[in-house]
Structure 1
Amino acid sequence: MSEAIVTDVRTGHHFSTERLESYLEHHQQGFTGPLRIRQFEGGQSNPTFLLESPSGKYVLRKQPPGELLPSAHQVDREYRVMSALAPTNVPVPAMRCLCMDKGVIGANFYVMDYVPSRIFADASLPGVEPEHRKLIYSELARNLAALHSLDPRSLGIGDFGRAGNYFSRQISRWARQYRATETETITSMDKLINWLPDNVPATEKMAVVHGDYRIGNCLIDPIEPAIAAVIDWELSTLGDPLADLGYVYQMYYISTFEFGLGGKSLEQLGIPSQEEFIWEYCQHAGIDRVDNLQFSVIYNLFRLAGISQGVYKRGLEGNASSEIALTFREVVRDYADTAWNMVEAL
């Protein structure tokens, strides 16, 4: 079992408690001060803070300090998609308010309810009974299938992303963002940037996709083997559900980072095998099989390398949410090398 690590607000992330209090008193129903503000460890993209007050405990997510890439750190998209999902069977925290006035704390932000939970950065779920691990992973597959079964238009987010050519557009986007934050030459990354556009699957589907769906972004109920809420929707959009499935599935190939399961004894841990996880997803999604899964894993490893490169660059510039960012240099290379090894094995 693991609880979220909360620290004092770190250097470079401070903002005015008084201005935030005043804003919440006028824009968040039922809020009363005074506020105590602390910062969650992690949240490499959008810094995340615990707000404690007489009216309750809340979580604030804001854009990071420093110069931002145009399409990154759009906290308003997180707020919008979780608000839309509130009445569905995909569990999300309750949204409280969204502020797009940077004059309040120096960045756009939103506030949501705090969800009591366990958090596991380690995908092997240390300290959890094997039978409970199996149930949690079953929920992981079920919630993803539930998300992909929703009609974006009926949720009021039919304009949440562009229609068609999802993989092509995403490959182009992450290639650009990787180049914008590149700090050294990684040959496997250069090869992937050339290979991926020519190998996009011919057919695509359209659904709400999370973009960073994994155990580490699920809040586990404090007692029951159940997912209390899915968080970190910054990368969500409308796209091919295969992208989400390939992203969570890549955990079976990753061994160099804690949210990977590569090289671990899944049977002993009680965690479903690759085949069992896909079967579980298909059962809940009402489909017989998943095509082009290997392409999606390769694409997602490339994308994760691009994201990690941005984290590392922010670490070098001193703008990252955590000092852990400086350890991402080798992570970028590991992801890119793993993806290119898969290409060569096809």
Structure 2
Amino acid sequence: MIATAPAGLTERELLAVAAWMDGRGLGSAPLTEVRPLGGGTQNIMVSFRRGERRYVLRRGPRHLRPRSNDAILRETRVLAALTDTPVPHPRLISSCDDPSLLDGAVFYLMDPIEGFNPSLELPAPHAADPSLRRRMAFNIVDALATLGTVDHQAVGLTGFGKPEGFLERQVPRWLAELDSYRRFPGYGGPDIPRLDDVATWLEQRRPSRWQAGILHGDFHCANVMFDRSSTEIAAIVDWEMSTIGDPLLDLGWLLATWRLPQAPTIFGGAFMESAGLPSAAELSTRYAERSSRDIDALTWYIVLACFKLGIVLEGTHARAAAGQAPQRTGEELHAMTLRLFERATHLMDGEQ
């Protein structure tokens, strides 16, 4: 009998994974030490051992969204492309594009990441020393700048995204996404103050020049794992929203969520509330020192990040109204949507 947990995979699914691994030469022993991994609100991750090797399986949520499988498959492609780059990332082992094995979900296997997520825990040295946390923060920015130096065409990501018109598509694309949430029973539509004002401001002030590169798409401190014995980054995780676009949006995303008031675990938890962290301005300066990209329009990217991320989070609020996500999670993320739009309007008003 294979042990499992409600948040992970069923015994039948684990047996299907084992059979699939057999066909790929990934061991032949039973799956043992099976346990779900937390840290996110959407996708399912399960750790297990087979023989002498440990694996982590990642798949979409139990209630699959329309693009869940596409996102997982895109994630596997970008992880494969990053293999020989200096960008810290999870090491891909193999992927399965057959959705029949896990009740409609595709999945992939990766090596476990030996490190900690600062949004969930801080080891004793890091918790006790503000200077270590400050170096951690700067290392997050350094890793992001490193990602921005990768030539996406040279690593095989030509066609991975559509960089032409990327910035022009953002506002209408995400307004359409927000409107699509009306399909969820019980969701009465968005209640987001100054939504239209933010959309208009973004359209009127959109940068006219930018340089395409790999965009993580959900870059904040909870999606970075650190080495337990130092301040070095072990891996940037959760690449499901990655594409080829404007990497400055990742910087905007980091700053949009940086020290956001009453931020839940998904945006850094206690780490974001701890002493010693650099300010958003210091992080911006650090990025400028490590990158050749022009950050003169950085406020626009932060506002766009608040707008886009707020709409993404509102999707969980809508699904919760329909019983497809925990009600408490939906309420918490809706509150974060409101805080993100408050930050966006504060920045906008400062730019008038």
TM-score (norm 2): 0.85
Tell me the equivalent position of 2:346: 341
1:55 CA displacement:
3.0
**Aligned-pair identity (%):** 25
Question: Counterparts of 1:167-206 in structure 2 under 5 Å?
Answer: 167-181=167-181, 183=187, 184=189, 185-206=191-212
Which residue, 45, 61, 64 being the options, matches 1:64? 61
d(CA) in 2 for partners of 1:207, 1:177: 24
* Residue pairs, 1:144-155, within 5 angstroms: 144-155=144-155
Superposition map of 1:7-46 within 5 A: 9-10=5-6, 14=10, 16-27=13-24, 29-30=26-27, 32-46=29-43
Aligned twin of 1:111: 109
Q: How many residues align?
A: 336
Deviation string, structure 1 residues 87-131 (Cα, Å, up to 9, x no partner): 110011211111111111121111101112111217999715222
Q: CA–CA distance in 2 between the matches of 1:321 and 1:154? A: 42
C-alpha displacement at 1:339, in angstroms?
1.4
Structure 2 segments unaligned to the other structure (5+ residues): none
Q: Higher mean Cα deviation, 146-155 or 21-30? A: 21-30
Task: Tell me the alpha carbon deviations over residues 240-292 of structure 1, each in whole angstroms, 9 at most, x when there is no partner.
Answer: 1211111112234621314369xx888xx2222223212221222145x5111
Q: 1:49, 1:321 → 2: CA distance?
A: 20
In 1, the alpha carbon distance for the partners of 2:203 and 2:309 equals 17
Partner of 1:303: 308
Provide closer, same or farther for how the CA distance between residues 207 and 273 of structure 1 changes in structure 2, counting only shifts above 3 A: same
Distance 2:33 2:121 in 1: 31
- Deviates most, 149-158 or 196-205: 196-205
Give 2:91's aligned residue: 94
Q: Deviations over 1:174-213 (max 9, x none)?
A: 2221121253332322332343223211112101011111
Q: Does 1:237 align with 2:235?
A: no
Change (3 A) 1:252 1:103: closer
Matches within 5 A, 1:115-134: 115-121=113-119, 127-134=127-134
Q: CA deviation at 1:161?
A: 0.7
Q: Name stretches of at least 5 consecutive residues in structure 1 with no aligned partner.
A: 1-6
Structure 1 position 337, deviation (Å): 2.8
Separation in 1, partners of 2:82, 2:301? 25
Q: For residues 100 and 45 of structure 1, what CA distance do their matches in structure 2 show?
A: 19
Q: Secondary structure at the match of 1:200?
A: coil
Higher mean alpha-carbon deviation, 124-133 vs 135-144, is at 124-133
- Secondary structure of 2:231's counterpart equals coil
- Deviation, structure 1 residue 10: 2.4
Deviation at 1:78, TM superposition (A): 0.7
| 1:257 pairs with one of 258, 263, 269 | 263
Q: 1:37 deviation in Å?
A: 3.0
For the residues of structure 2 that align with 1:242 and 1:81, how far apart are their CA atoms?
18
- How far, CA to CA, are the matches of 1:276 and 1:341 in structure 2? 19
**Local SS of the residue matching 2:194:** helix
Residue in 2 that maps onto 1:248: 254
Structure 1 residue 324, shift from structure 2 partner: 3.0
Q: CA–CA distance in 1 between the matches of 2:328 and 2:44?
A: 12
Q: TM-score, normalised by structure 1?
A: 0.87
